[in-house]
Amino acid sequence: MGRASTILVRWVAPILALVAVLGVAFLLFAPRLVSIEVVRRSMSREIAGWSGRSMTFEGTPEVAFTPFLTVTFPKARIESARDGTLLVDMDALRAQVPLLPLIFRGRIEPSSFTFRKPHFRVSRAADGTTNWDYPSGLDATSPLRQLTIVDGTLDYDDATGLGASLTAINATLELPDLRRAASIQGSARWQDQPFVLYAALDSPGALIAGEAANARIVLESNVLRGTYDGSVRQLDGLAANGQLSLSTSSVTELAQLFGLPTGRMPRIGAASIASSAGFARGALTLGDVALTVNGNEGVGALSLALGGDRPAVQATLAFDALDVGNTIDAVRAIIDTSRLAPDAPLDWPKLDRIDADVRISADQLRLVGGATSRVAASLALRDGRLDLAIGDMQLYGGRLTASFSSEMQGDAPSGSLQARVDGLALKTALGELAGINAIEGSLSGTLSLQGRGESWNALVASLTGRGSASIARGTIRGIDLSVLTAGNAAIPTLMGRLFNGSTAFTAARADLSITGPTISAPALTVTGAGYSAEMAAEASLGGPDIRARGTVELAGRRSPPASLPFEITGSWSHPVVAPAVPTP
């Protein structure tokens, strides 16, 4: 055996064995040497530094090495420093205690906490005060370096009614040094939707001291994704300034996630937004916004205020092209569905959870069938009342101005419509919007309409309104009156040729009245080359049927002029014109 081997056997091996024995003895007896009361006071002091109140617990704490020294307090509770209410309770609070401060300085300085099944209760009063505060006790002397939450729950109660509840919270806060980068990473469920969050802060100490700190936040979920890169600081509340990017697969689903009612309103699909962002005193301001909604790209500015009775949105958006064809189809589907179940509730949402002031303009508004126009419109939502105004819409060669208002009156939605159209190309408009091609011309007119009802039948039965319509330089297809005005042939011999071709007219005019499901024109006049006609007409708003009865005065080359009573039946798309049987 060499000299080195002899030294190893005589000296090193016994020393290692002694160290091993001492280590085993320490692991066995150290838990008994730890004072639970000292640990409790140390932990309470640390917790009070960032919650303002000390910790209480039930039962007997457990001390163990796993392999670090840990102390677990069952049924731990922490109260609010502001109002004394319960801030959080949990099944167990476990603290990890570093050995070196304990051995060499006799101090117990917990370096990490683990909250098992904690239930956080945070709230904000009407005056903006909360039952929690920022962790002012976390300074450079704090030994806390990690906080872990396992299967937690958070209930947030806001005086405005915008509460929230998070479940299945699993997160870890890494706080190596207040002067160095901190991060939090975890997951939770909100409204049965899973969320994953990552956030990093380059200097928590700067934030606590009221200085600016750089931050990055990444949010991932099935409905919403977002990133924020910028700075945050603590002024009069939290303030931030940076770049924000958000995207959602469905605006409608996102609104439902935030508790905003959508009812049978047309669904809005995918959307994204990228902009500069500023947040201060409860208000979020977005500038230089690049927005995409349902494939439509626009620019503008938005703001969201959270300090009032309800959130308030303001937006000014401009689009080069805005396609609303799918929205029109959705409105048609809603109407068709309502008509299939005419006595079922309309399910119109109560729009009292948010206020809004939105202004939209588009150089090109794409409607059904590819038709385009220009539009400027505004939408206002105040105290549950919706006001929509179209100030300038170039549509089918003409111009449309309109306003629509709606609100809940008891359990029944009510609405009113005011509209004016000038120079509308009737053939194109009726063809693309209603599939009607029996009439053409330039339409001008007005319409005023009101209604209220819990169901489709009740709403239609309540309708009242009036209006006027005039058509210039038009044509009616399916009848050719020139057959009757070209000569003096007996009218009965010409009837076989009458219902072919078309008839041009110079002007048509009528005053309209709407009562329940019926729209009527008691005195509709039509004038053209060699003839004039007067009739009383009515149609059903709930169906395609039309009815009219009148007399056409035939002149032209016919001498003397003749009067021909007639009636119109059928539908808008297939009217049937026939001589009228004289009324006895």
pLDDT above 90 covers a percentage of the chain that reads 31
- Within 8 A by CB and 6+ apart from 137, the residues are 46, 48, 49, 50
In this prediction, residue 240 carries a pLDDT of 92
Element (H, E) at 564: strand 562-570
Q: Where residue 73 falls among pLDDT bands split at 50, 70, 90?
A: confident
**Mean pLDDT confidence for 172-185:** 84
Element (H, E) at 93: strand 92-97
Greater confidence, 313 or 83? Answer: 313
Helix-then-strand count for the chain, H and E: 11, 32
CA 233 vs. chain centroid, Å, equals: 29
**Mean pLDDT confidence for 93-118:** 73
CA dist., res. 464 & res. 36, Å (int): 79
In this prediction, residue 38 carries a pLDDT of 63
**Residue 145 scores a pLDDT above 50:** yes
- Lowest mean pLDDT: which of 123-137, 269-283, 381-395? 123-137
**Residue 133 scores a pLDDT above 60:** yes
- Lowest mean pLDDT: which of 211-215, 282-286, 292-296, 497-501? 497-501
**Mean pLDDT confidence for 456-460:** 89
Across the chain, what does the average pLDDT equal?
Answer: 81
CA dist., res. 158 & res. 218, Å (int): 25
- Is the pTM above the cut of 0.85? no
- Within 8 A by CB and 6+ apart from 43, the residues are 55, 71, 73, 93, 95, 110
Joined tokens for residue 81: 């420093």
